[in-house]
Amino acid sequence: MNKTDIKRNIASVIGMLVLAFLAVGSTDEGSSGSKDDKARNLPEGNIAIINADRGTSLQKDENEKKYQGTTLQFVGVVKDVTSATHAQVMIDSSNYCNVEFSTATVGSLNMGDKLKFTAKIKVFGTGLLFKHELTDAKLEP
Amino acid sequence: MLNLRMILPFRFFLKPIRQGCVEASAALLVGGFIYIFWRSNSLLMFRWFHFLGMDEMIRGWRTFVGSFRPSGFVLYSLPDAAWSYAGTVLFSSIWIGSRASYRYFWIALVPALSIGGETGQAFGWVPGRFDWNDLYACSVASVLALIYVKQSFHA
Q: Please report the ipTM that was assigned to this predicted complex.
A: 0.82
Residue in B with minimal Cα distance to A40: B72
Distance, CA of B95 to CA of B13 (rounded, Å): 9
Is the CB of residue B24 less than 8 Å away from at least one CB of chain A?
A: yes
Residue in A with minimal Cα distance to B92: A12
**Banded model confidence at residue B142, pLDDT cuts 50, 70, 90:** very high
| Parallel, antiparallel or unpaired: strands A71-83 and A114-123 | antiparallel
What residue ranges of chain A have pLDDT lower than 50? 31-33
- A114 contacts A104 by C-beta, under 8 angstroms: no
Distance, CA of B13 to CA of A140 (rounded, Å): 61
Task: Report the mean per-residue pLDDT for chain B.
Answer: 83
pTM across the whole model = 0.61
List CB contacts of B60: < 8 A, sequence separation 6 or more. none
A26·B79 Cβ contact <8 A: yes
Provide mean pLDDT across the span B133-142: 94
Q: For residue A76, what are the β-bridge partners?
A: A115
The pLDDT value given to residue A13: 94
Q: Which of A3, A9, A19, A93 to mutate to test the interface with B (most CBs of B within 10 A)?
A: A19
CB contacts < 8 A (A, B): 91
- B135 contacts B84 by C-beta, under 8 angstroms: no
A8·B13 Cβ contact <8 A: yes
Distance, CA of B72 to CA of A20 (rounded, Å): 24
Assess whether pLDDT exceeds 50 at residue B10: no
**Which residues in A lie closer than 8 A to residue B41 (C-beta atoms)?**
54
Query: Both ends of chain B: CA-CA distance in Å?
Result: 32
Chain A: give the shortest CA distance to residue B136, in Å. 17
Q: Could you say which of B9, B86, B90 has the minimum Cβ distance to residue A7?
A: B9
Number of C-beta neighbours around residue B114 at 10 A: 25
Is the CB of residue B30 less than 8 Å away from at least one CB of chain A?
A: no
Q: Could you say which of A25, A39, A54 has the minimum Cβ distance to residue B48?
A: A25
**Which residues in B lie closer than 8 A to residue A16 (C-beta atoms)?**
87, 109
- Between the CA of residue B78 and those of A43, B49, B61, B72, B116, what are the distances in Å? 20, 22, 20, 9, 17
Chain B: give the shortest CA distance to residue A40, in Å. 7
The pLDDT value given to residue B29: 95
B79·A16 Cβ contact <8 A: no
DSSP assignment of A73-100 equals EEEEEEEEEEETTEEEEEEETTEEEEEE
Among B55-69, B115-129, B135-149, the range of highest mean pLDDT:
B135-149
The predicted-structure confidence for A110-125, as pLDDT tens digits, reads as follows 888 888 888 988 877 7
The pLDDT value given to residue B4: 44
B129·A27 Cβ contact <8 A: no
Chain B: give the shortest CA distance to residue A39, in Å. 9
The predicted-structure confidence for B74-84, as pLDDT tens digits, reads as follows 988 999 999 99
A54·B131 Cβ contact <8 A: no
Q: What are phi and psi of B26, to 5 degrees?
A: -60, -45
